[in-house]
């Protein structure tokens, strides 16, 4: 081996050795957890519950950074462009699976630019109605909608939002004819239903539960295969004869593609420990959110399935955010 080759080999070994040492010592500085939504929503709340627990486990501060805008696109792009060293994470929602079909052109590619770490939650959805709307059960609501095509409004928190897509999927599953009225956020949408400006929608349980308990709106049924311990008297759609419909919201933590494998392994192991702890399960259940700790191939397959499911709906309903 000549002198130049020996020098190149020595530099390569040194670089590889430095990379290994860096990963082995991870983390040695604060970690940023990007939340591509505004402060105060469920995504933000989950991040601020997990961050201090992750800080305690890793021995370095995990700092939540909210970067909302364009239905999560702004913050997701920021995370996609971050250095893949384990010091930038993305905590996001089902928007990860929705946006590739909702927007004609995204400044990132989910499969190319990210690697999944862990699914941390699954949030049950509910069918709800205005207190000024007649039907008092899910079967009665569906029957009413069938008898009054094009006469009933459903509200959503915006075009392409989980509540919009879940409601639209409900309408299409049962071949109903309704009118979509989008609002700027979940609060205004539910307020409109409470006021009778819109008659019904499908939305996540945590958002609707407080207004249901105060009588401002009524949850007719839970979506999924089991009742909620927080609303034990509310049946599931399957129980009342409509098992075909299925929808949920969820949250995952992702990292930029090419993050070192041993760093990803450490994060997965640590986050799984956090999510499976009794204290975390109790805290999540207080929020009406089911904790999850899905990783690996199962998580990749889940994200792919959700992307296909919502993509098919968006295409068939000609929904676009552009």
Q: Check: CB of residue 121 under 8 Å from CB of residue 281.
A: no
pLDDT of 13 higher than 60: no
Average pLDDT over residues 127-150: 97
Q: Are residues 60 and 78 in the same domain?
A: yes
- Condensed to tens digits (0 to 9), the pLDDT of residues 73-124 reads 999 999 999 999 999 999 999 999 999 999 989 999 999 999 999 999 999 9
Let me know if residue 182 belongs to a domain. Answer: yes
Let me know if residue 209 belongs to a domain. Answer: yes
pLDDT, averaged across the chain = 92
pLDDT of 307 higher than 50: yes
pLDDT of 7 higher than 50: no
The share of the chain scoring above pLDDT 90, in percent, equals 85
pLDDT of 23: 60
Q: Are residues 114 and 254 in the same domain?
A: yes
pLDDT of 74: 95
Q: Are residues 118 and 254 in the same domain?
A: yes
Q: How far apart are CA 110 and CA 151, in angstroms?
A: 39
Q: Check: CB of residue 110 under 8 Å from CB of residue 98.
A: no
Q: Are residues 112 and 141 in the same domain?
A: no
pLDDT band at residue 10 under the 50/70/90 scheme:
very low
pLDDT band at residue 38 under the 50/70/90 scheme:
confident
CATH of the domain at 178: 3.40.190.10
Q: How far apart are CA 224 and CA 56, in angstroms?
A: 35
Let me know if residue 269 belongs to a domain. Answer: yes
Let me know if residue 236 belongs to a domain. Answer: no
Tokens describing residue 181: 């009225």
CATH of the domain at 37: 3.40.190.150
Let me know if residue 82 belongs to a domain. Answer: yes
pLDDT band at residue 321 under the 50/70/90 scheme:
confident
> Could you list the residue range(s) of the whole structural domain that residue 181 is in?
124-222
Average pLDDT over residues 27-49: 94
Q: Are residues 102 and 131 in the same domain?
A: no
Q: Are residues 102 and 129 in the same domain?
A: no
> How far out from the chain centre does Cα 97 lie?
9
- Boundary residue ending a domain (203, 222, 241): 222
pLDDT of 11: 44
- Condensed to tens digits (0 to 9), the pLDDT of residues 284-295 reads 999 999 999 999
Q: Are residues 170 and 192 in the same domain?
A: yes
Average pLDDT over residues 224-246: 94
Q: Looking at the 3D structure of the chain, how many domains does it have?
A: 2
From residue 130, alpha-carbon distances to 35, 62, 108, 207, 272 in Å are 32, 41, 39, 15, 39
Let me know if residue 148 belongs to a domain. Answer: yes
Let me know if residue 322 belongs to a domain. Answer: no
> How many angstroms separate the most distant Cα atoms in the chain?
88
Let me know if residue 228 belongs to a domain. Answer: no
- Condensed to tens digits (0 to 9), the pLDDT of residues 187-210 reads 899 999 999 999 999 999 998 999
Residue-by-residue DSSP string for 40-108? TSHHHHHHHHHHHHHHHHHSS-EEEEE---GGGHHHHHHHHTS-SSSSEEEEEETHHHHHHHHSS--SS
Q: Are residues 282 and 301 in the same domain?
A: yes
Q: Are residues 131 and 211 in the same domain?
A: yes
The share of the chain scoring above pLDDT 70, in percent, equals 93
The answer for 175, left when phi > 0, alpha when psi is -120 to 50, beta otherwise, is left
Q: Check: CB of residue 127 under 8 Å from CB of residue 254.
A: no
The dihedral of CA 194, 198, 201, 204: what is its sign? negative
């Amino acid at each position: 081996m000549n002198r130049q080759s020996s020098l190149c080999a020595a530099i390569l070994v040194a670089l590889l050795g430095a990379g290994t040492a860096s990963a082995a010592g991870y983390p040695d500085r604060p970690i940023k957890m990007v939340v591509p939504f505004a402060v105060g929503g469920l995504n933000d709340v989950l991040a601020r519950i997990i961050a201090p627990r992750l800080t305690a486990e890793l021995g370095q501060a995990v700092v939540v950074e909210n970067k909302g805008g364009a239905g999560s696109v702004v913050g997701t792009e920021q995370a996609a462009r971050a250095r893949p060293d384990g010091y930038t994470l993305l905590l996001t929602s089902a928007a990860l699976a929705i946006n590739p079909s909702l927007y004609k052109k995204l400044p990132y590619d989910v499969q190319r630019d990210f690697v999944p770490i862990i699914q941390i939650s699954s949030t049950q959805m509910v069918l709800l109605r205005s207190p000024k709307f007649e039907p008092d059960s899910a079967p009665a609501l569906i029957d009413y909608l069938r008898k009054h095509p094009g006469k009933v409004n459903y509200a959503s928190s915006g075009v392409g939002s989980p509540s919009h897509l879940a409601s639209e999927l409900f309408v299409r599953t049962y071949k109903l004819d309704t009118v979509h009225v989008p609002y700027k956020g979940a609060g205004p949408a539910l307020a409109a239903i409470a006021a009778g400006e819109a008659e019904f929608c499908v939305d996540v349980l945590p958002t609707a539960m407080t207004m249901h308990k105060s009588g401002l709106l009524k949850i007719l049924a839970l979506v999924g295969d089991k009742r909620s311990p927080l609303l034990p008297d509310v049946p599931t759609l399957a129980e009342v004869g409509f098992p075909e419909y299925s929808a949920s919201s969820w949250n995952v933590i992702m990292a930029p593609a090419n993050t070192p494998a041993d760093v990803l392994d450490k994060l997965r192991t640590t986050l799984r420990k956090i999510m499976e702890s009794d204290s975390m399960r109790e805290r999540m259940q207080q929020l009406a959110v089911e904790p999850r700790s899905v990783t690996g191939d199962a998580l990749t397959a889940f994200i792919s399935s959700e992307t296909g499911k919502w993509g098919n709906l968006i295409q068939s309903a000609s929904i676009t955010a552009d």
